[in-house]
């Protein structure tokens, strides 16, 4: 049987759902025959969403092969970040780092550069619940990909904020899982952006007592932890 050779598409729209719908129309495929990666979810902060939709069996990102950015790409990313921070009045150190997350990159993920920013007053770049950081990351992704021939994802952190937030989310997920397993009653968490919801899902995906599902639209989308059905 001939594999589907249609390549992935990246679509920007006013919401994640709208971007997925447009991508499916462009590919001419149903939802169950594609892999969806939310590259940027800036909707809760007044921006837009960017998704990458890859046909299952398209041959892109062959199994076991994680595409890594080369040193030239990393250099371009760091220079874009430095230039933007300088224009904003920040004097910071910009480091390319290894993936600090529990969520490992897979073969269907785009090449990804992880950046950590350090410096005086760098904490101002984070904002309330990471709102400024999300906006900064969105802008940097746009600027970087104007200079590169193919899509590269950039994930921005400031002095390890994302790592600390991830640790807090994992601890929250584990506490809620214990409660749900004990009471057999589902618990719905507060609304979270896509990257934080994903941490909850990954933290509990191998838990034998509970399962997780997302529901809601836009900035009200949240995770509910359910007792796992026998």
How many structural domains is the chain composed of?
3
Would you say residue 230 has pLDDT above 70?
A: no
Give the tens place of pLDDT for each residue, 84-98: 999 999 989 999 888
What CATH number does the domain containing 85 carry?
Answer: 3.30.300.20
φ, ψ of residue 51 in degrees (nearest 5): -125, 150
Residue where a domain terminates, one of 143, 159, 175: 159
pLDDT digits (tens, 9 = 90+) for 41-69: 666 656 677 777 888 765 544 444 556 77
Q: In what order do the strands lie in the sheet with 34-41?
A: 9-13, 49-55, 34-41
Q: Is residue 66 part of a domain?
A: no
Instruction: State which H helix or E strand residue 226 sits in.
Output: strand 222-227
Rounded CA gap, 218 and 41, in Å? 9
Establish if 62 belongs to a structural domain. no
Convert the pLDDT of each residue in 137-185 to its tens digit.
989 999 999 998 888 889 999 998 988 999 999 999 999 999 999 999 9
Query: How far apart, in Å, are the Cα atoms of 62 and each of 23, 66, 106, 107?
Result: 21, 8, 10, 6
Range of the domain at 18: 9-55
d(CA 208, CA 64): 26
Domain check: are 218 and 177 in the same one?
Answer: yes
Averaged pLDDT, 122-128: 88
Q: pLDDT by residue (tens digit) across 15-34?
A: 888 888 888 887 888 887 78
CATH of the domain at 215: 3.30.1370.50
> Domain boundary residue among 159, 187, 219?
159
What's this model's pTM, rounded to 2 decimal places?
0.65
C-alpha closest to that of 129 among 167, 177, 86, 161: 161
């Amino acid at each position: 049987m001939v594999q589907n050779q249609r390549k992935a598409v990246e679509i920007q729209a006013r919401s994640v759902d709208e971007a997925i719908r447009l991508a499916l129309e462009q590919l001419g495929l149903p939802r169950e025959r594609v892999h969806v990666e939310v590259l940027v979810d800036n909707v809760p902060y007044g921006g837009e969403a960017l998704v990458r939709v890859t046909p299952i069996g398209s041959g892109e990102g062959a199994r076991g092969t994680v595409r890594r950015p080369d040193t030239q790409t990393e250099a371009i990313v760091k220079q874009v970040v430095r230039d933007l921070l300088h224009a904003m009045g920040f004097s910071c150190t910009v480091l390319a780092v290894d993936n600090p997350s529990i969520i490992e990159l897979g073969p269907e993920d785009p090449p990804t550069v992880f950046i950590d920013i350090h410096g005086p007053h760098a904490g101002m770049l984070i904002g309330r619940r990471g709102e400024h950081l999300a906006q900064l990351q969105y802008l940097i992704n746009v600027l970087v990909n104007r200079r590169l021939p193919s899509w590269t994802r950039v994930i921005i952190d400031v002095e390890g904020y994302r790592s600390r937030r991830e640790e807090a989310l994992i601890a929250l997920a584990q506490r809620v899982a214990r409660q749900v397993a004990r009471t057999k009653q589902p618990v719905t968490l507060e609304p979270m952006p896509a990257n934080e919801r994903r941490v909850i899902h990954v933290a509990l995906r191998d838990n034998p007592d509970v399962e997780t599902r997302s529901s809601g639209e836009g900035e009200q989308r949240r995770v509910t932890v359910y007792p796992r059905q026998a």
